[in-house]
Structure 1
Amino acid sequence: MPRVRELEVFRVALPFGRRSESLLVKLTDYAGMTGWGEALAPQPKTWSRLEESLGALLVGVDWEHPDAVPGTDSAVDMACWDLWTRMRGVPLAHAVGGTRTSLMATVRLEPDKSVEHLVTRVNQQVCAGYGHVTLDIRPGWDVEPVRAVRAAYPALTLAVDGDGSYTDGGQLVALDSYGIEVIERPFPVTDVDAHATLQDQVAAAVAVEVRSTAELDDYLTLRAARVLLLRPTAFPSLTEARRAHDRAAAAGWDIQCAGGQGAGLARAATVALASLPGCTLACDVTQPPRQNQIVTPIVGAVAGVIAVPLTQPGLGHTIDEDRVRRMAKDHFQA
């Protein structure tokens, strides 16, 4: 039965992105075993809430299972799972029900300075072993780049990601003639009807990213998509993320796990969830640069394949704690 002797929380500055910050949680039990978790781009009040309540919640308290720890957020929940599975000597992937030993990866390419340069970048990724590419699209940067990439690579599996930037589905319908596998996040997640209309108009699967099973249920009811874009750190707990996986899979949806941001811990949790049987689509843990991670081995793809760590317990990675402390902008201990 875990009992936390000490906890530490680090606010870590990451050398990339517009919201380049993570909160890292470290739990240490009375035997010296540790568990780590990560929250990406935390809200301003998250730090003060953890500082005021986390110590009383965890230090010296016995708990049987991570689900028994009340009132946690994604970082604390992840740290509890990491500690719990390390104590039992089992990989996190197995503990959540994963069955895969390796995952196909997609590589994500942002809008470029020219269509020609984008095609060159796609060529670099194909030569590196990727058979699946996700193109970030926006109004005004959609049909032309997709047409050019498809012309250059007729057999390449392509997905596009609108990041909720569209209000009209016309250009997205036009993309369907280029053999797109998935149209990810075309509209704001609150616009269920727009997703449903688009899914009726295209052969490609529409993918939606939700943050709760309640949001997912709205899409399932209206058959407004066919793919769940599952980002584990967007849910309050790994159990809740697993519950969303189960509901989507039961409805016949495909599932893609995504989580490329952060310092490496969130990526590791993404890989663990992506080993679940319903996660049939390519996993997205390719961004940002691999050298910015604080875990060993780093989480990423080799020749388009991601290994699921099954020889080490917990998240399956060693934390460079010295680097964490150097990167920390703030820190508290209880």
Structure 2
Amino acid sequence: MKITGIELRRVAMPLVAPFQTSFTTQTERDVLLLRVVTPEAEGWSECVAMSDPLYSPEYVDAAADVLRRFLIPALPARPDAHTTHHALHPFKGHHMAKAALETAVLDAQLRTSGQPLAAFLGATADRVPAGVSVGIMPSIPHLLEAVTEYLHEGYRRIKLKIQPGWDLAPTRAIREHFGPDLLLQVDANAAYTLADAPHLAKLDDLDLLLIEQPLAHDDLVQHAQLAKKIATPICLDESIESAAHAAAAITLGSCSIINIKPGRVGGYLEARRIHDLARAHGLAVWCGGMLETGIGRAANLALAALPGFTLPGDTSASRRYYTTDLTPPFELHDGHLTVPTGPGIGIDPIPAILDEVTTSTEWIPL
């Protein structure tokens, strides 16, 4: 497959409401899109890096820079997803930028052959259960009102963002208000230390699916120690950047569940490797989200349809984050989202909407 050029496109996507976590509050997404152009097809992808290096060391400006200066020039003459993955491997870090380039190449490749991404990855489901991530709220009444609305819309699982001072009380309020049958989990985004273990152990009485990334992203050892001190299953997110990291976490006993985010691990090929590894060791996995537009959401749905994804992920409907998505909106049906069946990621941006939100474009000929 010969690539004639690659477009880097920045778009500004306002969120329907502020989204607060333990490390930041987002009101808008500065999204970097990639469009790979070949004589036969165009491939699209979305870089999930944020505007600032808060969730991870990566950020949008740096992703665009490393793509422009190093990753795109390293592409082989006639790349496919596997040769692209191999060509990008020598460059340290920059997983989100690598994932965006590999995915756009893969999308063009699959559109040329007429194969859906879900089929390429080995998916077995045609729809996936949808969970929703609920940010830190001004008050518990605001939180209960928001969760009520999400459950009314049909979401199958609630994930509550927590931080010191916003953890036990809101989580207990949700459990008491909605009862024991609600699938409920919490996400700390590395806001705690091992010294907080006695406090985190108080969550054990609330029958949670898991606590996600309670400690620092680079500390598998202390996560293993924490796992011995609390009964709530530990799920790792920021700590898992590759299949090698997942293998180390499994060996140490640092987690019993893994949140797989393709952008964080360098792409869908590596995400599938982590899925296969976890499944072989009996660990549950689920597909995390980074407030993706429809372009990134479509690809995540293909991944979440693999057989090892046994827990509802963060593949929420488009309107959870955006009043108007870049693509035809993804909508909930009986608490599920349908996996696209068209070639590649199975969906295209709507040109008029794309043009309206575009802040800059850069064409890199090859």
Q: State the TM-score, normalizing by the size of structure 2.
A: 0.83
2:275 corresponds to 1:258: no
Q: Which residue of 1 aligns with 2:42?
A: 34
The amino acid of 2:39's aligned partner reads: Y
Query: Greater CA deviation, 99-108 or 210-219?
Result: 210-219
2:66 corresponds to 1:49: yes
Q: Which residue of 2 aligns with 1:208?
A: 236
8 Å contact kept, 2:71–2:98:
no
Q: Which residue of 2 aligns with 1:145?
A: 170
8 Å contact kept, 2:13–2:322:
no
Distance in 1 of aligned mates of 2:63 and 2:137: 35
Q: Which residue of 2 aligns with 1:219?
A: 249
Alpha-carbon distance change, 131 to 38 in structure 1, aligned in 2, over 3 angstroms: closer
Distance in 2 of aligned mates of 1:262 and 1:231: 11
Distance in 2 of aligned mates of 1:103 and 1:74: 22
Alpha-carbon distance change, 203 to 329 in structure 1, aligned in 2, over 3 angstroms: same
Query: Greater CA deviation, 322-331 or 202-211?
Result: 322-331
> Which of residues 170, 181, 185 is equivalent to 1:159?
185
> Which of residues 303, 307, 317 is equivalent to 2:338?
307
Q: Output the aligned Cα RMSD.
A: 2.1
2:147 corresponds to 1:130: no
Distance in 1 of aligned mates of 2:71 and 2:217: 31
Distance in 1 of aligned mates of 2:146 and 2:67: 42
2:327 corresponds to 1:295: yes
8 Å contact kept, 1:7–1:28:
yes
Distance in 2 of aligned mates of 1:196 and 1:54: 35
Structure 1 position 189, deviation (Å): 1.8
Alpha-carbon distance change, 279 to 5 in structure 1, aligned in 2, over 3 angstroms: same
8 Å contact kept, 2:154–2:332:
no
C-alpha deviations, 1:97-121, integer Å up to 9, x for none? 1111111111111122222232222
8 Å contact kept, 2:36–2:44:
yes
Paired residue total: 328
Query: Greater CA deviation, 312-321 or 48-57?
Result: 48-57
Residues 1-334 of structure 1: matches in 2 within 5 Å? 2-16=1-15, 17=26, 20-31=29-40, 33-40=41-48, 41=50, 42-53=59-70, 56-57=73-74, 61-63=77-79, 65-69=80-84, 70-71=87-88, 73-154=98-179, 155-167=181-193, 168-209=196-237, 210-286=240-316, 289-296=321-328, 298-310=329-341, 312-333=342-363, 334=365
Distance in 2 of aligned mates of 1:196 and 1:161: 17
C-alpha deviations, 1:256-289, integer Å up to 9, x for none? 1012413322222211111111111101023852
8 Å contact kept, 1:294–1:320:
yes
The amino acid of 1:162's aligned partner reads: A
Alpha-carbon distance change, 262 to 157 in structure 1, aligned in 2, over 3 angstroms: closer
Structure 1 position 303, deviation (Å): 3.9
Structure 1 position 223, deviation (Å): 1.0
The amino acid of 1:222's aligned partner reads: L
8 Å contact kept, 1:173–1:198:
no
8 Å contact kept, 1:9–1:331:
yes
Unaligned stretches of 5+ residues in structure 2: 16-25, 51-58, 89-96
Distance in 2 of aligned mates of 1:229 and 1:280: 11
C-alpha deviations, 1:149-194, integer Å up to 9, x for none? 1111221111111111011122221011011111111111212233
Query: Greater CA deviation, 212-221 or 74-83?
Result: 212-221
Alpha-carbon distance change, 55 to 157 in structure 1, aligned in 2, over 3 angstroms: closer
Aligned residue for 1:181, secondary structure, equals coil
Alpha-carbon distance change, 171 to 251 in structure 1, aligned in 2, over 3 angstroms: same
